Structure 1
Amino acid sequence: MLLPSEDFKTLASLVQQIKDPITNSQIYLSELAKTKLDPNQTELVSDITNLTTKLDRTFDIILSLSGLDENYKLINNAIQTRLLIDQLISDLGQFGKVQYQRKQALPSIAGNYLKLYQALLTIAKRVIDNASDKRITIDSSKKSNHILIRLIDQGNPYTKTTRRVLSSPHYFRLDFELALALEIIRLNGGQIRLTRFDHKNYLNIKLPTQTQAKLVKSND
């Protein structure tokens, strides 16, 4: 099954759109770290500096991608970038009122993140809708515009741990009526596993790195 290429193009475009604002934010953070507003906050300044380095590395990875599994890596790194930015903004908020005012001057970057998730979830929905296994179905009886998603990374060589929770479950509104819970895990072997679950049962699906490969039911 060939995954819709237009979805990946949209995702790649969104990632590129947030690159420049993040670069500007990095410059801002570097200057902020140099000022050392309070000697007692040196640890937090160091944390923000380290975060800036992580952002640089994330975009180096995204921009150097190539190969058949490029689309999945792009999704994975885009999500990581989104979460790093969340931490960046959260850390800035800890500086207090003066720093909060400076925070307002940061480039407006939050608006694109929901679009990133929408692109990812649209892909996931199409994967499930087009799967040959008809047991993978959407419960159309549920009147909802929400999707519950949890993302876990088990195979990222750029993290210190082998299992990292990329996102706690969050609800995101989408244009289509759907009540669906997904767990997306990138395995050590480079595969991405989608688990569709409810409160009673779940079904594991493995997405091979090749975009034309068919979905197979997981036995693990």
Structure 2
Amino acid sequence: MSGIVGIYHRSGAPMERALLQSLVDFLSYRGPDSHECGMDASIGLGHAMLRTTRQSRGERQPASLDDGRFWITADARLDGRVELITELERSGRIVQPNAPDSELILHAYAAWGTPSVEHLRGDFSFAIWDARHKQLFCARDHFGIKPFYYLEREDLFLFSNTLNCIRMHPEVSGELNEAAIGDFLLFGLNCNNATTSFRDIQRLPPGHSLSISTEGLISSPLSRIACAQIGPESF
């Protein structure tokens, strides 16, 4: 999978490019095809690209849309692309049929805002920055195929799809979460899927989104996927 990372100083403190670049460099084993950063004052997004689909051949991330208003870093593989593109075109968006999945996610956010994630099907873990409203939106797919970890403090929000990448940040302690470790030793799993073995680092549960701004953080569950009823007559 590709590697994603981001640093958001909610206090408005300027971004340190060297620090962001060091985290992207750490993710190079995730994505050997390209390593890039994008910055906007107090936020920085990074990406280590692993191209796995035909549409991703010329893809670059972090990617932007609508004259730089929306930015994304994503590890995503979407299903139902044709249906999604049709929905987007009906909403007034102009979408190329061979657009990479990250661009489709950006178009969806530009069209529908935070409910856009309800239109997505597939495996995804991403963060979108709205430069106009100064808001960061993050989401993880319903089944949790793609991981998403984060640290939240009063003036700092740090995220990645790789736990050890977050641990590389100098403000992240190595203090352990004894409750999570105890669960794992007793039951073979972490009973609280929003935590990790490290006290500072949280995990976004499958099928959840985050909205982060200077006013705080809101975590919301996604709508459940509707499943068709299958009876004996179907076989």
User: Where is the helix percentage greater, Structure 1 or Structure 2?
Assistant: 1
Structure 2 length as normaliser, TM-score? Answer: 0.28
When the two structures are superposed, what TM-score results if normalisation uses the length of structure 1?
0.29
